[in-house]
Amino acid sequence: MFSSVRARLTLWYTAVLALVLVTFGFATYTFLARMIRQRMDDSLAEAANAFATVFTAEHQEEEQSSDEAAIEVIRQFRFRDHHFIVYGDGRRLVAAAPAIAPDLFASDESLSLLPPMAILLETAVHSGRAYATLRQGDAGVRAFALATHVGAQSYIVVVMRSRHDQEEALEQVRHGFYVAVPLALLLASLGGYLLARKNLAPIVAMSDQAARIGAENLHERLTVANEHDELGHLAAVFNNLLTRLNRSFEQQRRFTADASHELRTPVAIVRGEAEVALSRKQRSSEDYRESLAIILDEGQRLTRIVEDLFTLVRADAGQHVLALSDFYLNELVGNCVHAVRNLATTQGLNLFYEPPAEMMYRGDEELIRRMIMNLLDNAIKYTAAGGVFVLCEQHEAEYQIAVADTGPGIPADAQAHIFERFYRADKVRSRAETSYGGGTGLGLSIARWIAEVHGGRLELDRSDATGSVFIASLPKPTEPA
């Protein structure tokens, strides 16, 4: 039931509001009760003071005994809800509002016998004034006692008032809260639920939209209602993700299409060659050898393409584990140069290599060899005359291996694409066999990946009519290997 964010939000909202309302109600009620009680105490004190003033005046003006004056004043002081009692010395009951006393107390005697009343009178004798709440009926009676002297006598004037009205008012307030708080909570939770639903509606719409997006319609985007709010931001982030996914899907699609296209040619050649070989009953062994040589050649080419593809797929998945070892980079470059020297000579090219100082390195030797061989092979393959120069340099933080040639250079518009997979600026020459195999258009992208996976870079430094220069930079090992 509470699995939806909407319901949980409403629940939280209602719970917090309930806490606030109950606290607020409780505080208000306490304050109100205290204020009402204070008012009653003030009014009792006021009435007692007025009574004492009139009592003294009555005694002086009428020249009657103080007890008689008390009885007279009690007669005059007829408030609807205030009850007066006058005690003389020793808790002697002098006068009491006659019509009222029987409502509150069983008898006049019981007035002075009630233990709280006794305490009240006692306190008033000592402190001059005192308050007490007497148990009487449901709500009780609030009493105020004031000690006063009239003539030679000392009296205690007690004013009492039933707490019934006051308690009834407070009860009404309580009942008001009992109804108002749950009603307010109900309305607020309903409002909260509707509000949550309204605010979460864009998320629901977004998830519906997102659910409809698949591989076939990855170009679709979520609607961004307001890009400045959180939901708009979420939609924008999601759309960016879709753009990136779409791009990599596109790349993947193109890669697959290019790969199958690349594989199709050697497979067609193998098939065609086999068909030709089998078409006639009798052929010379020379012819068979020729066909088989072509089939072997294309088979090798297929193997290379599949291996390159496999390398790239594993590189993309981040699954290629580097077989790290310590070796001398200068030696490895030397070995590679040695391996292609024959090929270069056969093509009438000069191969210049100045062995550098020791270059200690830590990396995947096989991969680094592959990168260098690819650069050398390309240089030889695409250079008709002149030479290939290999230069190793040590910089502060990196080693640089530069492979320069005197070839025709790479067309300006092709330079930006040569590191892309399957890109070949010179398709005819690219298919030519080299020491490292015929071109597949994957060589430079694999070489660049090798440099990058070692924390380095592979860049085309320069390419024009006088030749091309590729530079591979590899970071020096931080600690002595």
Q: Which residues bind ligand ADP (CB under 6 A)?
A: 374, 378-379, 382, 405, 407, 410, 418, 423-426, 430, 439-445, 468
Q: Which residue lies nearer to ligand ADP by CB, 25 or 443?
A: 443
d(CA 433, CA 3): 65
Non-local (6+) Cβ contacts of 376 within 8 A are: 336, 337, 340, 388, 390, 403, 435, 436
CB of 447 to ligand ADP, least distance (A): 7
Beta bridge partners of residue 147, listed in sequence order: 156
Non-local (6+) Cβ contacts of 304 within 8 A are: 437, 438, 440
| Separation of CA 372 from chain center | 46
Q: Which residue lies nearer to ligand ADP by CB, 166 or 463?
A: 463
DSSP 5: H
DSSP 280: S
Residue closest to ligand ADP, measured at CB: 439
CB of 215 to ligand ADP, least distance (A): 29
Structure tokens at 370: 């592959």
Structure tokens at 76: 């005059």
Residue type at 283? R
Q: Residue 287 to residues 266, 267, 269, 282, 294: CA-CA distances in angstroms? A: 19, 20, 16, 10, 11
d(CA 444, CA 447): 5
CB of 256 to ligand ADP, least distance (A): 18
Q: Which residue lies nearer to ligand ADP by CB, 145 or 376?
A: 376
Q: Which residue lies nearer to ligand ADP by CB, 9 or 269?
A: 269
d(CA 96, CA 86): 6
Q: Which residue lies nearer to ligand ADP by CB, 41 or 426?
A: 426
Q: Which residue lies nearer to ligand ADP by CB, 52 or 376?
A: 376
DSSP 224: -
SS3 content of the chain, % helix, strand, coil (to 5): 60, 15, 25
Q: Which residue lies nearer to ligand ADP by CB, 206 or 403?
A: 403
Q: Which residue lies nearer to ligand ADP by CB, 131 or 419?
A: 419
Helices (H), 115-229: 115-127, 164-212
